Chain A
């Protein structure tokens, strides 16, 4: 009898400390998300367990005008979430919706 091995990938959030696991194949550029109570209840990335990292929210740096931007629970415009690791940095940027209003 040959046992079927299934890979398990464990993730955690450096802010709220939530852990989660995923079975099966996991591509390196795939990101595990969770709604983080420590990051304004935004859908924030988790990092592989054992990875030293900080995950931070940044507000939009420019005038909103009539842009349809992502807002946090407090109505503040969110620009991106940056994950800083020892060996690099990830970025998830919240792109506004394009509209036809204005010029």
Chain B
């Protein structure tokens, strides 16, 4: 088994509704996008703790976590690249949509090998450190060599909850 779908962590939603965490997707400074290879099988129904970066299947700092392999690793570090220009739809629509600008490597000479998907997580302080928001399966292997890696978020948003 490996991953095959893109999901919101149920714990992310229930923790917010239960007010057990102070995660604010709008104002939390760092929502990160970390890359992973195909050796994991994510589960959207795990606990908050197991949805976090560097916990459960989301190993941090080594395989299956992927980073830029060029000198300095700055293009796309293990911790990921941040979401910028985040937006959240308001109460007037039946689908709650969270979106942001496309996420781009920090430089134009990034090298990444076999990224199959990403973990979106809240890197700001919360009840659970680095709690997961969602994960996204790219549909196959993605690599760049001395280039630019761009994650283009779907027009339907990074995540969407239809009421």
Contact = CB atoms under 8 A, between A and B. Distances in A.
A63 B139 CA distance: 8
Interface in B112-151: 112, 115, 118, 120, 134-151
A103 B44 contact: yes
A100 B5 contact: no
B94 interface: no
A97 B156 contact: yes
Contacts, number: 139
B106 interface: yes
Q: B interface, how many residues as a size bin?
A: 35 or more
Interface string A51-63: 0000000101111
Nearest to A89: B145
Interface in B98-114: 102, 104-109, 112
Contacts of B138: 79-80, 93, 95
A77 B147 CA distance: 24
Interface of B: 4-8, 10, 13, 43-45, 102, 104-109, 112, 115, 118, 120, 134-162
